[in-house]
Structure 1
Amino acid sequence: MAVMLAVGLWGLDRGGMWGDESVTFQVAQRTVPQIWRLLHDVDAVHGLYYLVMHVVLAVHPDEVVLRLPSVAAGTATAGLVAALGVRLAGPRVGLWAGVLYAITPMTGHYAQEGRSYALVAAGVAAATLLLVRAVDAGRARAWWPYGAVLAPTCLLHEFAVLVLCAHAVTLALWRVPRRVWSGWGRAAGAVVLLVLPLVWVSHGQAGQVAWLVTPGWDRVARLARNVVPGPEGAALWVSLLLLAVGLRARRTAAVALPLLLVPPGLLLTASQVRPLYHDRYVLYALAGASLLVAAGAGRAAGLLGRVRFDGRRVRIGGRHAHALVGVTGVLALTATFLHQLPVHRQDRSAAHRPDNLAVVSALAVRQMRAGDPVLFVPSVGRLAALAYPKGFARVRDIALRESAPRSGTLWGREATPGQLRRRLASVDRVWLVAERYALAPGWSPADPVERTKLAVLAEEFAVREEHVRDDVVLRLHVRRRAAEVPPGAATTARLPAGHPAPRRARPRPARW
């Protein structure tokens, strides 16, 4: 837990939030009725997390505070994985499993992110430990703590319910008696009934994950590299070898292997029909890999622990061998962390995230004048202004019709195409904040408002200056003069007062 806490706090202030974190930041600061209204239309799957973060950010709204619950959850998960290893295979395996979980880069990544995935991993680890305890206790009452922990975990993210399938496989491998199945079944049924309304509502909001693609073998390979403590080279093969040896520890493997394979496997399979898979949705499966590798190392250490060095002879047993095992374990874990250190360092840079909204806000402060109108293309780019409002305090969002909190949306409601054209007709300069892909010639948005933004800028404005940061483009557009209007663009000329209007020419008859 100490190692995980240190890894989580290291570089926690990256100097900027990215898009998903900014959603958490701005939604959690709304009132509870405003959050409740939002969940009826979007992000119901994150509803409980937003309410938790509403309490957290009420203490101090800051991006470091935003990430502290994930750090705490990652720290708790490392301890729970260690406790699970102790219960299944002894203190040495438990210690190694907890440290392996703590130093894996994927764990550190989500322990430093203001989203719910680290909390979900903590809940699943706790529920798995309670599953083992309930089976060992053999009493019906022992299953209620299991259900009480798993229910809110699934409400934090509905894909956590897949762990029930992994736990069912564990019980089958252990060949538990019917009374154990009965107790687990009642607890699991209660969890499913509680989560069903969330699944129903989120099904109607599936457009939020329309950007996901059907996963192929490359996704499977990427997940394997992420969950095995040794992403490449000799470290990867050593980890895979120890993982294979860990399968011989049947009691541990019966818990760890289903946890590692079943939830990702089910989600990958379902995503062949409807894409729903992302690595972060099954972050909790990583605990299974740590347990298996540690169990394999424990079996290897057991063999080494029976070796005794007596002069030039080798005998079985001895304190020296146990000391050698301890030193070897420490050196192996240290070498694994040092091998992954470049990945950890890279992950603590804001540039390693999909975007950095703080950079966009700082650029706006330097370039925009007070009162300047600004357009966001697409409208999701407004998240930069919502996360860092000081950067856009002096400018006017010319397309915005109703703010995000008042409209019950993530980034507000915009004017209709007609209203937007009239608003743009009244200005001679406008700033455009756009994603790089939105300015590509082949990009054709389905939203008519987005099409109107691009069409009016192309017809009536010219680019005066441009600034690019990562994948965000900041452009100043100024109105064209009449002589600069491109051929084919619509123009309107004003005649002097009293001047007769020209007669319209009669249209020529169409010819076949």
Structure 2
Amino acid sequence: MLLACLLHEFAVFALAAHGITLLVSGVPRPALRAWSVTVACIVVGLLPLAIRSSGESGQVSWIAWPDPMQFLGFLAMVTVGMRCARRPMNVRGAIQLPALALPILVLPGLLLLLLSPVKPLFVDRYVLYSSIGFALLLGAGIDRFHRRQLSSRTSWVVALAVLAALLPPSLYLRTPQSRHDDVIAIGNAVRHAARPGDGLLYLPGRHRVWTGATPEDTRFLTDLALVQDPTSSNTLAGIELPAQDIPARILKFSRIVAVRDPEGAHSDTNSQEEAKTRTLKRYFRECGTTRVTGARITVYVRKVALCREDDQRLAAI
């Protein structure tokens, strides 16, 4: 458990779920003491990492308040799981299946949702292990259905209906469109929109990671806000100039390629991002935008300059 928490701090929610399982199951005191010792060891072992990682919370600043679909998805899974748990189960042993499966299904996601007003951190893949509880409960429900000895025809109809429901989302999850962003498409769009010597701006700066996978896409561009690259600064997105120095750097260029959030996305609001946006709005005009999955690539030119024909074609890409 300590190794799991060191690999991913949110695994600690599984330990809390196991504690609830032990409490509601009425296990002997030695088992509860063993769990308490485990908690103490993990707290001691995890504390240095928690303190260290708290200073890097900006790496997850992109996480916004959970949208309604996330709430509904979590609620639907919990509802189905609880429905399965309501049925009697022929399980031998001190710990019944609902007592094991329901806490691991409900608690990790619920705790992240409750933390959202303080710090939005709810991302379903962060607590993907909670699907273990859902799988156990759903498996028990399928087993009960099978024991009802329905006709083979009815069983085949149900099986095909389940397959028809699961196949489309399963195929969709294996496409680039299922991702929040497509870094390969973003890099290609930057390469096609830019000319050697252009300036490059990331709005916000954390999006520098999008083009980090393919450095050749930005090799001939000047990153206008960057003062220390990710490698030398030991960060994901590098370190940017102070807000007061960014406008002067931008104004040295007459043509800039900006990597931006898609329309309606949650954007960072700090002095550096405001300096970038304010300078572009005042001294530049938009010449064309390429939209790809999760991002917009926009070409800006100084207002005293004219858009060239190749810039105007960007809007049609």
TM-score, with length taken from structure 2: 0.78
Supply the distance in 2 between the matched residues of 1:242 and 1:444 (Cα, whole angstroms).
Answer: 41
Q: 371, 394, 402: which one pairs with 2:228? A: 402
Residue 160 of structure 2 is aligned to residue 337 of structure 1: no
Instruction: Identify the residue that residue 130 of structure 2 maps to in structure 1.
Output: 285
User: SS state of the match for residue 478, structure 1?
Assistant: strand
Partner of 1:492: none
Matched AA of 1:356: D
- In the TM superposition, what is the alpha-carbon distance from 1:474 to its structure 2 partner? 2.5
The 3-state SS of whatever aligns with 1:405 is: helix
In the alignment, which residue of structure 1 is the partner of 2:18? 167
For 1:248-287, what aligned pairs fall within 5 Å after superposition? Answer: 249=91, 251-271=96-116, 274-287=119-132
Report the 3-state secondary structure (helix = DSSP H, G, I; strand = E; otherwise coil) of the residue aligned with 2:87.
Answer: helix
Secondary structure of residue in 2 paired with 1:376: strand
Given the alignment, which residue of 284, 289, 313 partners 1:466?
289
Matched, 1:151 2:2: yes
How many angstroms apart in 2 are the aligned matches of 1:186 and 1:329?
48
- Relative to structure 1, the CA distance from residue 259 to residue 433 in structure 2 (aligned partners, 3 Å threshold; closer, same or farther) is closer
CA–CA separation in structure 1 for the residues paired with 2:26 and 2:267: 57
d(CA) in 2 for partners of 1:189, 1:355: 40
Q: 1:360 to 1:335 in 2, by over 3 A?
A: same
Whether 1:245 aligns to 2:68 is no
CA change 1:386–1:186 in 2 (3 A) is same
CA displacement at 1:412 relative to structure 2? 1.4
After superposition, the Cα gap between the structure-2 partners of 1:372 and 1:205, relative to the gap in structure 1 and judged at 3 Å, is closer
Contact 1:444 1:451 in 2 (8 A): no
CA RMSD of aligned residues (A): 3.5
Q: Does structure 2 conserve the Cα–Cα contact (< 8 Å) formed by 1:247 and 1:292?
A: no
The 1:342–1:302 alpha-carbon spacing in structure 2 relative to 1, beyond 3 Å, is closer
Deviation of 1:178 after TM superposition, in Å, equals 2.3
472, 476, 479: which is aligned to 2:299? Answer: 476
Count, aligned residues? 302
Within the alignment, does 1:200 sit opposite 2:59 as a pair? no
Partner of 1:223: 74
Are the aligned partners of 2:257 and 2:297 in contact in 1 as well (CA < 8 Å)? yes
- Once the two structures are superposed, the pairs formed by residues 59-138 of structure 1 within 5 Å of their partners are none
Match of 1:390 in 2: 216
Secondary structure at the counterpart of residue 237 of structure 2:
coil
Relative to its length, the structure with more helix (as a share) is 1
Task: Assess, with a 3 A threshold, how the Cα gap between structure 1 residues 345 and 226 changes in structure 2: closer, same or farther.
Answer: farther
| 1:227 to 1:281, Cα distance in 2 relative to 1, 3 A | farther
CA distance in 2, matches of 1:431, 1:216: 30
Is 1:432 the counterpart of 2:253? The answer is no
How many Å apart are 1:173 and its aligned residue? 3.5
Question: How far apart are 1:380 and its partner, in Å?
Answer: 2.0
In 2 relative to 1, CA 193–332 (structure 1 residues): closer, same or farther, beyond 3 Å?
farther
Instruction: Answer yes or no: is 1:295 the counterpart of 2:137.
Output: no
Between the two proteins, what is the percent identity of the paired residues?
A: 29
Q: What are the ranges of 5 or more consecutive residues in structure 1 without an aligned counterpart?
A: 1-149, 229-235, 305-320, 483-512
Deviation at 1:247, TM superposition (A): 5.5
Work out which of the residue numbers 206, 209, 218 in structure 2 matches 1:380: 206
Q: Which moved more, 1:357-366 or 1:197-206?
A: 197-206
Would the alpha carbon gap of residues 255 and 370 (structure 1) be closer, same or farther in structure 2, given more than 3 Å must change?
Answer: same
TM-score computed with the length of structure 1 as normaliser: 0.51
1:36-63 CA-to-partner distances (Å, cap 9, x unmatched) read xxxxxxxxxxxxxxxxxxxxxxxxxxxx
Larger Cα-atom Rg:
1
- Per the alignment, residue 451 of structure 1 pairs with 274
Letter in 1 for 2:240: E
Q: Cα 1:178–1:387, aligned 2, differ >3 Å: closer, same or farther? A: same
